[in-house]
Amino acid sequence: MKSVARASLTLASLFTVPAVFAQHADLEEIVVTANPLRSSALQLAQSAIVLAGDDLARNVGPSLGETLASQPGVTASYFGPKASRPIIRGLSGERVLMLLDGVSALDVSNLSPDHSVSVEPLLADQIEILKGPTTLLYGSGAVGGVVNTVDGRIPMRKDREPIEGGLELRADTASEERSIAGRLDGAVGSVAWHLDGYSRDTDDIEIPGLDWSKALIAEKTAEGEPIEATRGYVPNTDSESDGVTAGFAWIGERSLVGFAWGRAETNYGLPGPAEHAHDETPAASAVAALAAAEEEEAVRIDQTADRYDFKAEWRELGGLLDNAALRAAYTDYEHDELEGDEIGTSFEQTGLDTRLHLGHRAIAGWTGTLGLQYTDLDLEAIGAEAYIPPAQTTGLAAFLVEQQRFGDWTVDFGGRLEQQEIDVDAAARDYDGTAFSAAAGLLWDLDADLTLALHLTHSERHPQAAELYSDGPHLAVRRYEIGDDRLGTETANTVDFGLRRTGDVTWRASIFYSDFKDYIFPLDTGAEEDGLPVYAYRQADATFYGAEGEIEVPVWHGTDRGLSAHFGADYVRGKLDGGGNLPQMPPLRLMASLEYDAGPLHSVLGLAWYDEQDKLAANELPTDSYTLLDFEVTYRWERWTPGVLLFVKGSNLLDEEARRHSSPLKDYVPLPGRSFLLGVRLSRSPAH
């Protein structure tokens, strides 16, 4: 696999891809591809964040979660740097859908935080985060939102040279990351083609102090248990990732048919407490405890995914239909959880996601899309720690999204009806349910620069197989899980109100409130099984509310240079209506930065302060506040267009101990210490 990926990268170093290595585009100009109306981010009533161009290059991390964790309202699960899934406004798992080019990622990252997202951000053209009515096209339970990664694996343009391409190299000090990624694109006549590949290796992350938190050490000391903390690094956080993708498309004047295949291979360690029973006698010293811990076999995940994508589009059709699109993806996914050289548990899943979108011409002023979606997931866990029985999940959904403009007002609404069945081989009742979701949004242009946005959402989410049928030790999160096959749909009613201003001073702010009925969550029962605490899935009413905002203020501007200040903040609160806090809620975050631009030079000095989190769920330990100081400098050499991009980034310059409260391993795995990233993107765009 590595030889295939690196061969494609060697070829890619000779050419350029304007799409992925484009210069930074303003938010207003970036089309949100996950929106069927192809609107820009500022034309949507819903909240939307789009990373593209140089902004994306500077933010790419070892996983999708780490790439997006600094965006307003977004954090990540951080089960180590590789297994890190985006969390939006405190919601995670099945409530935040992962898409690749508009179709489900079809992996098992929603089942457990130790499972990495199979989407690689290194070669993304853009990454979109959105909430509101159009999320109903992808899943009724996406109350948190949708993260769509666009990587151009199926070409959409034929107006290019026969061969174009690009290459990126990057290296990081805290994890000893060494990455290379490249791509080729081209077109001959009506046939366009695409090839990309990447390889990324990282070592154990370096940290400023002990991997165990002070709160955890105090708790273990009080209980008379040995302290097995490691200083200066977090063991078993290294990773290796390789991948290659090939695609082609026939592109006509009003139609397109395309196909792509991709393979991704990842091997990464699972950090955290040792998975073994300790001797009752505390270790005589920290050195003895560390030596005992290192004798244990580290747990690793070896993951492979083969993905096949199909796309067909027809435009300017006759009658009421304006366009039609058929999208399908099939994935053969598996990963082995290795204990030394032995396979402890294997997860195997084949998944199919198909969507038919029919866009119609204006009817009484309304334009929009209606469609159908069919999904089929066949999941099997094999091994002593297989806590989920084999299950086949099938779903059929119909959806509709409409929009119309009334002068200064833009109104959109959507609806989705979804039927889902889960068949299990074990002696448990099968699940068969129907969920209905609806959303409406309003965009009001108060003047040329100020816009009010409001959207209301009613969503119903089906329980997933793990919530219904778990029964066994889930060692990655150190608990024994018990599902409940009597769980019903989870309902959420959400209101999101926002204001946006463009112009010299640009700002946006929003507040949100979600009222959940029958919220599904794992409850700590207080019992023990096999030496692990027992968590049982239950339903109870819950409430989420919070706010987020950001502002950009020009400080000084010259002829071709300028200095601007940016400020931002976000906050979310999650609690059960019957009393008690929900676990892993991110704390208040305040952000500030200074940006200086002088022609091809762009530099940023940023500061982010994270409050302590003392609003805790049962058996949660508090998290201390911390401050992250970062800088980045990029320089674009434009002998070619878009040329060569050089970038340097320094993270956690104060070398603070930083623990993300949204991580289930936050007391065992802090964020990396002081780190420096150096990267270069080489590209050359032939004249058209």
Q: What digits encode the pLDDT tens for the residues 104-147?
A: 999 999 888 899 999 999 889 999 998 766 677 788 778 888 99
What is the β-pairing status of strands 299-315 and 255-269? Answer: antiparallel
Q: 193 is written with which tokens?
A: 């083609």
Q: 99 is written with which tokens?
A: 């898409």
Instruction: Give Cα 507 to chain centroid, integer Å.
Output: 25
Taking the C-alpha atoms of residue 546 and residue 548, their distance in angstroms, rounded to an integer, is 7
Instruction: Give Cα 306 to chain centroid, integer Å.
Output: 19
Residue 423, judged by CB atoms within 10 A of its CB (0-12, 13-18, 19+), counts as: middle
Residue 332, judged by CB atoms within 10 A of its CB (0-12, 13-18, 19+), counts as: middle
Distances (CA, A) of 359 to 10, 37, 381, 450: 41, 9, 40, 30
Is the model's pTM score more than 0.95?
no
Contact 90, 544 (CB under 8 A): yes
What is the β-pairing status of strands 532-557 and 479-482? Answer: parallel
pLDDT of residue 685: 54
Taking the C-alpha atoms of residue 164 and residue 316, their distance in angstroms, rounded to an integer, is 30
pLDDT of residue 640: 62
Contact 535, 527 (CB under 8 A): no
Contacts of 198 (CB under 8 A, 6+ apart): 5, 9, 120, 122, 123, 179, 180, 181, 182, 241, 242, 243
- Other beta carbons within 10 angstroms of residue 462's beta carbon come to 27
Sign of CA dihedral 511, 512, 513, 519: negative
CB-hemisphere CA count at 13 Å for 14? 6
Contacts of 24 (CB under 8 A, 6+ apart): 52, 53, 54, 55
Taking the C-alpha atoms of residue 671 and residue 673, their distance in angstroms, rounded to an integer, is 7
Contact 147, 139 (CB under 8 A): no
Taking the C-alpha atoms of residue 21 and residue 19, their distance in angstroms, rounded to an integer, is 6
For residue 397, which of 114, 65, 58, 104 has the smallest C-alpha distance?
104
For residue 122, which of 9, 29, 269 has the smallest C-alpha distance?
9
Beta bridge partners of 621: none
Q: Across 252-365, where does the E strand assignment appear?
A: 255-269, 299-315, 321-339, 342-363
Taking the C-alpha atoms of residue 299 and residue 339, their distance in angstroms, rounded to an integer, is 5
pLDDT one-digit tens code per residue, 167-219: 999 999 999 999 999 999 999 999 999 999 999 999 999 999 999 999 999 99
Taking the C-alpha atoms of residue 20 and residue 41, their distance in angstroms, rounded to an integer, is 19
For residue 476, which of 116, 118, 63 has the smallest C-alpha distance?
116
Q: What is the DSSP string of 461-480?
A: EPPPHHHHH-EEEEGGGTEE
Mark residue 653 as left, alpha or beta (left: phi above 0; alpha: psi -120 to 50; beta: remaining). Answer: alpha
Beta bridge partners of 181: 168, 198
pLDDT of residue 292: 41
pLDDT along the chain (688 residues), means of 10: 38 30 40 61 63 86 94 93 94 92 92 91 90 75 89 89 89 95 93 96 96 96 93 96 97 96 96 52 36 59 96 91 95 91 90 96 93 96 85 95 93 93 85 94 92 92 93 85 95 94 93 96 89 93 96 92 96 95 96 95 97 93 97 85 86 97 95 96 61
Residue 413, judged by CB atoms within 10 A of its CB (0-12, 13-18, 19+), counts as: buried
Tell me the backbone φ, ψ of residue 361, rounded to 5 degrees: -75, 170
Contacts of 503 (CB under 8 A, 6+ apart): 449
Taking the C-alpha atoms of residue 248 and residue 257, their distance in angstroms, rounded to an integer, is 9
pLDDT of residue 297: 66
- CA dihedral defined by 76, 81, 83, 89, rounded to 10 degrees? 0
Beta bridge partners of 533: 528
Distances (CA, A) of 238 to 5, 67, 80, 211: 20, 17, 9, 15
Contact 133, 413 (CB under 8 A): yes
Q: 463 is written with which tokens?
A: 């329980």
Q: Residue 494: enclosing H or E segment and its boundaries?
A: strand 490-501
Q: 22 is written with which tokens?
A: 């484009």
pLDDT of residue 148: 94
pLDDT of residue 274: 54
Q: What residue type is assigned to position 227 of the chain?
A: I
Distances (CA, A) of 106 to 99, 296, 474: 8, 33, 21
pLDDT of residue 137: 78
